[in-house]
Amino acid sequence: MSKKDLIEPRVREDLVIIDHQGREDVFLRERSDRLADLVEKIGDLPEATDLELDRTALRAAAIYHDAGWAIQCRQGIVTRAEILVRATTDAQRELAVALLESRLSDVLEPSSLQAAVEILRQTNRRDTAIVEAHILSDAVNLDEMGPLLLWVLVRRHALEGKGVQAALESWNARKEYGYWRARIENFHFEPVRQLAKERLACVEQYMAQLSVHNQGTDFGGSRFPGPPPEEPD
């Protein structure tokens, strides 16, 4: 049996949240899959192919990057609505480290297991020399820059009982204080930074249209000139 076959059922058990009605919430599980895919693609970039990467450790760290959210949700510290609406914290990464160590110690080689732990711990540190941490950091940031962000907004505001206007206000507030510019500057690999800009542009277009449709300002004008004048008798 391959390592992937051994890991897959454990990851599903660890990251799929069961709600109070017994329904599966796969939000974290899907994010885990995306990060694992992204780190492999970034690792294949020309800028990274000459680097000595522990790809097994990198993939494991990507898979368990957000596992702390699942642990805290089951402990009642955060609600399902709060999962991933903020950046994953160092405390949550430490929870993920402990879970990764306990779940994959019999699957990964000791060196890869320890490397995965260090990648997780240093992903959010700009001064780290661990290249795999740079790759995972870029994967996490890229995943949060494009249209996938809309799903997070919808999920959060819908579960909180808020509407479209709340999502628009949240988006506009982040733009006003330069949140997205700062995120763009944090990328380590230039091709990933450029892709992030393209993804962010897609969201900007969508949010602009969402604002127009929410206010109905696209109604009227030459597109809707009104009824024709009545013919004289």
Structure tokens at 43: 């690792």
Asked whether residue 176 is assigned to any structural domain, the reply reads yes
Domain identity same for 157 and 124: no
Instruction: Based on the fold, state whether residues 16 and 94 are members of the same structural domain.
Output: yes
Q: Answer whether residue 229 is part of any domain.
A: no
Residue 135 lies in a domain: no
* Residues 2 and 117 grouped into a single domain: yes
Provide the 8-state DSSP code for 219: S
Domain hosting 11: range is 1-129
Backbone angles phi, psi at 190, to 5 degrees: -60, -40
> Does residue 193 sit in the same domain as residue 162?
yes
Residue 150 falls inside a structural domain: yes
Tens of pLDDT, residue by residue over 2-58, are 677 778 889 999 999 998 888 999 999 999 999 999 999 999 999 888 888 999 999
Q: State whether 2 and 116 are in the same domain.
A: yes
Tell me, yes or no, whether 167 and 192 share the same domain: yes
Does residue 231 fall inside a structural domain?
A: no
Are residues 61 and 19 both part of a single domain? yes
Give whole-number Cα distances, 38 to 21, 64, 111, 173, 204, in Å: 33, 14, 23, 28, 23
CA distances from 226 to 83, 219, 221 (A): 47, 11, 9
Number of domains in the chain: 2
Domain assignment of residue 180, yes or no: yes
Query: Are the CB atoms for 125 and 66 separated by under 8 Å?
Result: no
Same domain as 103, residue 46: yes
Residues above pLDDT 70, as percent of the chain: 93
Most trustworthy range by pLDDT among 58-67, 73-82, 86-95, 149-158: 58-67
**Is position 227 within any domain?**
no
Domain endpoint, select from 129, 162, 192: 129
Q: What is the pTM of this model?
A: 0.88
Same domain, 111 and 187: no
Q: Which of 97, 129, 161 is the last residue of a domain?
A: 129
Does the residue 207 lie in any domain?
yes
106 and 176 belong to one structural domain: no
150 with 107, same domain: the answer is: no
Dihedral sign of CA atoms 19, 22, 23, 27 in order: positive
Average pLDDT, integer, range 145-161: 81
Give Cα separations from 191 to 55, 136, 151, 222 (angstroms).
20, 14, 24, 42
Please identify which residue in the block is written with the tokens 């949010």: 207
Last residue of a domain, one of 94, 129, 164: 129
* Same-domain check for residues 119 and 148: no
CA angle 189, 36, 73 (to 5 degrees): 115
* Local confidence band at 233 (pLDDT 50, 70, 90 cut-offs): low
Distances 22 to 11, 25, 75, 87 between C-alpha atoms, Å: 19, 9, 17, 27
Which residue has tokens 């230039």?
A: 190
Q: Decide if 28 contacts 15 (C-beta within 8 A).
A: yes
